[in-house]
Each structure stands twice: as C-alpha cells, then as structure tokens.
Amino acid sequence: MTLDLVIFLISSVVAVFGATMMITQRNPIASVLFMILSLLAQAVLYIQLGALFMGAVLVIVYAGAILVLFLFVIMLLNLRGRESLGQPSPPISLTVKYALAVLFVLELIMVVKSSFSSDVFADAGNPGVMVMQTDNFGAVNDVAVLLFQRYLYPFELTSILLLVAIVGAVILAQRSRDDDGPVDAASSGESEGKAAE
Amino acid sequence: MIPISAYLVVAAVLFGIGTVGVLTSRNLIIVFMSVELMLNAGNLVLIAFSRALNVLDGHVFVFLVLTVAAAEAAVGLAMLITLYRNRETVNIDRFDLLKW
Amino acid sequence: MIDFSSVADNFNVIYPELALLIGAFAVLLLGTVKRFAGLCTSVAGLTALIALWLAVDQFGTQQSGFFGMVTCDAFGSAFKIIFIAIAIVTMLIAHRFMIVKQIARPEFYALVLISTFGMIVMANTTDMIVMFLGLEIMSVPLYVLAGFARRSLQSNEAGIKYFVMGAFASAFLLMGIAFVFGASATTDLRRIVADFSYIIYHSGLYMYVGIALILVGFGFKIGMVPFHAWVPDVYQGAPTPVTAFFSAGPKAAGFAVLLRLFMFGFEGVAELSSIFWVLAVLTMTAGNVLALLQDNIKRMLAYSSIAHAGYILIAFAVGGEDALSAAIFYSIAYAIFNLGAFAVVVLLETRSGCRSDFSELAGLSKASPYLCAVLALFVFALTGFPPTIGFFGKFYLFSTAVKAGFIWLAVIGVLNSFVSVYYYLRVLKVSYFDRVEQPALSVSYTPAITLVLLITAAGTLGFGLFPQKLLEFAQSAVFAFL
C-alpha cells in the first residue's frame, strides 16, 4: 500500500462521509460545515490529481466564499433547524425517490467500473492508468495561458453571468418601502413564527 | 498508481448523494447545497480526466464552473430570502400553492 | 502572443449580441436614476431593434472567432433573428401588464435582454463549455424573472421551483459534458465529429454516459417527459408575460442546442433514433392527455407546450436535413402563434381580479369580439387546422417522418393532434357559447399589445397561406449547418 493510495482512500472516504452527513443533518449550520469538510477532502483529491491551482481555488472560492454565503443567509434568517418540518412525504414517493437515486448511482458506478480494465486510455500507456505526470502540470502559469487565450471568450461570459447574478439577487432580495407582506397570502395560514427581521 | 476510474467512482458517489439530497431533502438550503455538491462531482470528473489525458482544459472548465456555482448560489439564496420573508418557512413541502 | 490585429474580426461575429448587452447595461444604469427610469423601455426596445437589424444583416454569412469558440453559421444567425424577435415581442407584451400589476421595474428589460444574449451564445457555438455558460446566462435571469413579482407567493414559488429544477439540470449537463470531454479530450463538436468512430472505439462507454447525461440535462430544460414536472407550476406561477417568454425563447434555444448536439455532434450514435422515438411519443402523449384535465389557461398552455415539444422531438428521431428544417420551421411557427395566444391571455389578465381560469372566458365573444376572433385564430393554429401556420408546420413535420419510414410516429402524432382538438376547442366553446349572468369585463388595448396581436395574427395566417418564404428561411438555415 503506497502513500498515494492511503491519501486517496482517506480523502475519498472523508469526502463521501461529509456529503452524506450534509444531506442528513437537520441543523443547516452543521450541514454547511459538513459540506466544507467534504470540499476540503475533494481539494486533496484535486491536488493528488495534479490540479494544484484548482485545489487552492476550490478551498478559497468554494469553501471560503460560496459556503460562507450560505452560512450568512442561515444566520440572517435565523434558521436553527428547530422549525417543524411537518408531515413527512408519503412513504411511497420517498421510496421511489431513494430507489431512483440508488439505481442511478449503481448505474454510474457499473459503467465506470466496467471501463476499469478496458482499453479506455490505450493511448495513455497502461490501460486505466494515468499517463506520467509532466513537469509543472496544473501550474498557475499554464492554466492562465489557456484561460486567457483559447478560453478567453468563455471567461468573459462568466463576467456577464456574475453581473446578472448580482442584479438578480438585488432585485429579489431588496426590500423597498412599499413592501409589506405578500399580496396573495389568502391561502397561506402558516405565519406562526415571528418575522425574520 | 491509482487508476483514473477510482476517482470517477468517488465522483459518481458524490453525484448520487447530491441527487438523493435534491430529491429527498425538505430543507431548501440543503437542496441548494446538494446541487452544489453535484456540480462539484462534475468538477472532480473534469479534473480526473484532465489528468488522465494530460491536458489542462479541464482545469479551465472547473474554473468556469466555479463561477457558475457562485452565480447560482447568489440568485438561489436571494430567492430563498424573499420566500422566507413571505412564508416564514424553508420547508419545500409547504410550497404547495401550485400543485407539483 | 495574442494577435491583436485580428481582434476586430472577432468582434464582427458577435455584433448583434454585443448590441443587446450594451442595451442591457444602459438600461441598468438609467434605471438607477429616477428621472430617466421612464426611458428604459424605449432604450431596451431600440437596442433590441438595432440588434435585430444587425442580425438580419449578418444572416447568410459564415464566420467564426475567438479561437473557434464562436461559430456564427446560417443556423446560428437564423436563431439570432428568432431570439431577438421573441425578446422584442415579450417586451411589448409586458409593458402594460407590469404597470397594472405594480411590478414594473426597469431591470425587467435588462434581464430579458441578457437572457436573450445567453440564448444567442448558446446557439452560436460548437463548443460545449460555451453552450453550458450560455445556458446559465440564459437561465439565471429567467429564475429571477419567474420570481419577479416579489410579493406574490405564486411567483416566489415558481421562481424557487424553476431554480431548483434548472440548477439540478445544469448539474446533469455538466456531468455529461465532463464525461464527453473525458472520452474525446475536447469539447468542440467539430473535433468530436471528425474523430467520432475513433472516440467510440476507444472510449465509447464514457461517451455514451456523457451523451445520456446531456440528454437528461436538456430534457429538463425543454420540458421533455419524464422531466416535465416543473413546467406547469412555473408557467402558472410566473407573471404571464414572463411565461410567454419561457414558452418561446428558452424553448427555441434549448431546441437549437439540442439540434446542434444530436443532429450534428452525436449523429453517429445509431441508438439515439429509437430513444428519441420513445421520448417523442411519451412527451406528446403525456402533454396532450394532461392538458385535458386543466382548468387554468396558463396551465393548459404549459401542458400544450410540452406536447408541442414532443412534436418537435419527432424530427430528432427521423434525422437528416429535411427533418432539421422541419424542426426549425416548427420552432418558429410555435413561437409565433404561442406568443400570440399568450398576448391574448396577458390582455385578459390586465382586467382586474383575473387569474386566467377557463370560466373567465365566458361571454368574451360579446364583450370583445375582435379579441375573441384573434384568440380563435391562435387556437386553430395550436390545434393545427388549415389555413394557419400550425397546420403547415405539422404537415411538414409528419410528412418528413413518413418519407423517412417512421409511419407509426407520424400516425401517433396525428392521433395526438386529434386529442388536442378537445381541449383547445374548449377555449372557444367557453368564450363563444357559455352563458353568463353579468357581461364580461371589457379589455383595454394599448398600442404595443395591439401591434403584437396584429403581427402574430398576420404571421399565423400569412405564413399559413404562403409558407414558401418561411420554408426557404428554415432550409437556408440548414444549408450551412456546421
């Protein structure tokens, strides 16, 4: 058992564990923290795959910014997971959902596994094994050259995407003076809790 | 050396967990995070294939996908705040004004 | 080093969408100043018209730029014209409605323009990663638009549902693109087509998984059965002009990308034909049967849009140039008469207290006979009666299917059209023959919406009688299909 394999096993188990805990927690804050754990483990996998820069970006941007945004919203709305989640879904639909998801995972794994020993990467040396890593694979410099030359256009598109996300978020969450509750609240009799603000 | 398929299996499992989360979770925040997890599984696949093919294009795609995830999170959370103001709940089963 | 002398050539390719983008920025900036906020509508409309002119000017040329990331072929530029026209019509429909419902904000127009930009990006590339980004640029404004009536619980809910489903679909799409990238070491469809047999031979399994996941992702986006559950809810909950936009723009964009992916990129996969056969039958049958049960007009139109997506899917099963032009033709035709039908619904909803239930149509023929006649025209087109464009579109689609030997598919399509007669004609039955105690509220026309009704009615009838021009347009779009 090589060190490589040990690192892979530990980090993949942690990644899967974090993800599982994330979807099963009641308290959303714990959920976010488990998600961050899973992301850190995934970042280790990235680095093991030679993606040094992207591993760093994953930690900084994803764990550091996006999930903090989630935390921020949870704190803002004061969600502690104490809210009663009401009646659970009817067992039949729940079973169907789980069955579908499990089937789907099994199928993906089967597909991936069946290509395990085939000559998927015949050109890449040994079947199913990665080619030898070139020097500096995944260095910031090389990624940047690719990003700003060949992929300049998609890169610029992301700027527009971010702009429209900002505009959209402001439109949706902004609170103007004439806002006082929903206009068609007739059928919603569930404002037991106190207002969010 | 670890075969590329091992990483793909991890990604597939993460993707599946994300799918289960979206389909079964009743807390909207967790649903959003499950979607993020699914995107992350896609990223892992991209990185793994990038390594296997010895090209850097996959890394660039991951970079772009991170932006997409950020944009989606921003809009989704803003929508959640609006909804919470009006309804005082993030329970997905309560959103039943329109039949599913 | 980057060769800067060719930068100008690159921008030549994207002039129309750049115009849209500049218009959107101008609207956003003007909207911040109260004094200029009134100008926003005209600025948005004007830039969209300029973009339309640029797109028409560009039609027929064959260019690519930005290291092959943008490909503006005849197919792409044809869809540019369609998207921009749809955006203009949406803005005309929306103007009065937004004021009446007290949700008029300048950002609405900016979001419509940026969403249209996203559609154009999607349709004008052969690179899958650009398609993905274009799809996101199109979708993110749509999520916001669906929830645009912030104080309406229905609109909130539509926004959230659309967002969750859309993000879920994007994740599938990304996974699919990742697998196709893994199999072929590229995301450019042209290179995939060039090496297709090699890729399938060496890493066929990854390729198939990728294609299946991409199909699921886009299946959600275009409302294909069994991924259609969100469509009726979102259509019903969103503000009606936004629904009109949903049913025309993103749908056409989704089909444009699907056409490029599955009739060009992955054409070599033989099994796809039978998969699309099943999907087409499922989609049109489920859409038509479920539409029978609806009491709300917007919901009924939502299911009808699912059914129409099913008709277009026939073209994917058939394959080949004729089917491609039939699909383009039907997309355009559907956009025309569906926008017209939604314009009527918007007009009816601007009356106070209307939620577009069927019962509200009662007595319409007495109160506003002209509107009722126009509605009848659109309903005939949706059903596929001659002499409307709807008839010709279906005829063309089914006849290509028969010619290619897909006789059963055409038969099922025709049977489905018969089913749809029942619920479409119910609209006319209620509005012409149902008795009411008090006369229906009359509607107040505005120049904008009258213009829309005139254009769409003229298009529905005119292209129905003389389809030659539109047919040539659809065929020339196929001619240089990269």
Which residues constitute the domain of residue C435? 270-482
Q: Least CA distance to A173: which residue of chain C?
A: C150
Identity of the residue numbered B46: L
Domain ranges of chain B: 4-94
What does the pLDDT read at residue A122? 40
- Please say if the pLDDT value at position A140 is more than 50: yes
Chains touching C (3+ CB pairs < 8 Å): A, B
Beta strand C70-72 pairing with C63-65: antiparallel
CA distance B93 to chain A (A): 8
- CB neighbour list of residue C408: distance below 8 Å, 6 or more residues apart: none
Residues 73-92 of B with CB under 8 A from A: 73-75, 77-82, 84-91
**A13-44 tens-digit pLDDT:** 999 999 999 988 888 899 999 999 999 999 99
- Between chains, do C202 and A119 touch, taking CB under 8 Å as contact? yes
Count of structural domains, chain C = 1
Q: Global pTM? A: 0.91
Instruction: Pick B4-94's CATH classification: 1.20.1250.20, 1.10.10.10, 3.40.190.10, 1.10.287.3510.
Output: 1.10.287.3510
A101 forms beta bridges with none
Question: Region B15-21: what's the mean pLDDT?
Answer: 90
Is the minimum CB–CB distance between C181 and chain B shorter than 8 Å? yes
Residues 74-93 of C with CB under 8 A from A: none
- Please say if the pLDDT value at position C38 is more than 60: yes
Distance CA A170, CA A161 (A): 14
**C93-121 tens-digit pLDDT:** 998 888 888 888 888 999 999 999 999 99
Geometric angle at alpha carbon C38, from C34 and C40, rounded to 5°: 100
In the block, which residue shows the tokens 């050259």?
A: A145
Token digits for C20? 């849209």
Is the minimum CB–CB distance between B66 and chain A shorter than 8 Å? yes
- On whether residue C349 sits in a domain, the answer given is yes
Quick check: A164 and C135 in contact, CB under 8 A? no
Distance CA C15, CA A63 (A): 38
- On whether residue C11 sits in a domain, the answer given is no
Quick check: C31 and C110 in contact, CB under 8 A? yes
Task: Tell which of C142, C153, C160, C295 to mutate to test the B interface (max B CBs under 10 Å).
Answer: C160
- Between chains, do B81 and A173 touch, taking CB under 8 Å as contact? yes
Is the minimum CB–CB distance between C137 and chain A shorter than 8 Å? yes
Q: What are phi and psi of B27, to 5 degrees?
A: -100, 125
- On whether residue C354 sits in a domain, the answer given is yes
A191 by DSSP, 3-state: which? Answer: coil
Q: Measured between beta carbons, which residues in chain A are less than 8 angstroms from residue C127? A: 154
**C141-194 tens-digit pLDDT:** 999 999 998 888 888 889 999 999 999 999 999 999 999 999 888 889 888 888
- CB neighbour list of residue C273: distance below 8 Å, 6 or more residues apart: C316, C317, C318, C319
What does the pLDDT read at residue C4? 59
- On whether residue C149 sits in a domain, the answer given is no
Chains touching B (3+ CB pairs < 8 Å): A, C
Q: Which residue of B7, B12, B94 is in closest CB contact with A190?
A: B94
What does the pLDDT read at residue B100? 46
Distance CA A69, CA B32 (A): 12
In the block, which residue shows the tokens 């579109």?
A: C393
- Please say if the pLDDT value at position A66 is more than 80: yes
What does the pLDDT read at residue C341? 93
Q: Which residue of C110, C150, C202 is in closest CB contact with A172?
A: C150
- On whether residue C45 sits in a domain, the answer given is no
C-alpha dist (Å) from residue C287 to C238, C252, C291, C416: 20, 18, 6, 9
Token digits for C478? 């196929």
- Between chains, do C156 and B83 touch, taking CB under 8 Å as contact? yes
Is the minimum CB–CB distance between A164 and chain B shorter than 8 Å? yes
CA C90 to centroid of chain Cα atoms: 12
C-alpha dist (Å) from residue A115 to A131, B55, C195: 17, 21, 20
Identity of the residue numbered A151: Y
What does the pLDDT read at residue C255? 93
CA distance B94 to chain C (A): 10
Token digits for C253? 């964009």
C120 by DSSP, 3-state: which? Answer: helix
In the block, which residue shows the tokens 């530990």?
A: A10
CA distance A186 to chain C (A): 10
- Between chains, do C164 and B35 touch, taking CB under 8 Å as contact? yes
- Between chains, do B74 and A172 touch, taking CB under 8 Å as contact? no
What does the pLDDT read at residue C201? 83
Quick check: B16 and A108 in contact, CB under 8 A? yes
Q: Which residue of B6, B71, B90 is in closest CB contact with A79?
A: B90
Q: Find, among C252, C427, C258, the residue nearest to C329 by Cα.
A: C252
- CB neighbour list of residue C232: distance below 8 Å, 6 or more residues apart: B98, B99, C290, C294, C299, C302, C303
- On whether residue C223 sits in a domain, the answer given is no
- Please say if the pLDDT value at position A163 is more than 90: yes
**Total Cβ atoms within 10 A of residue A43:** 22
- Please say if the pLDDT value at position C83 is more than 90: yes
- Between chains, do A66 and B73 touch, taking CB under 8 Å as contact? yes
Q: Which residue of C140, C153, C232 is in closest CB contact with B71?
A: C140
What does the pLDDT read at residue C263? 86
- On whether residue C13 sits in a domain, the answer given is no
Cβ neighbourhood burial of C34 (10 Å; 0-12, 13-18, 19+): exposed
Q: Least CA distance to A76: which residue of chain B?
A: B81
Q: Least CA distance to A146: which residue of chain C?
A: C67
**B44-99 tens-digit pLDDT:** 999 999 988 888 899 999 999 999 999 999 999 999 888 888 877 777 666 666 65
- Please say if the pLDDT value at position C195 is more than 60: yes
Task: Tell which of C127, C150, C181, C208 to mutate to test the A interface (max A CBs under 10 Å).
Answer: C150
- On whether residue C161 sits in a domain, the answer given is no
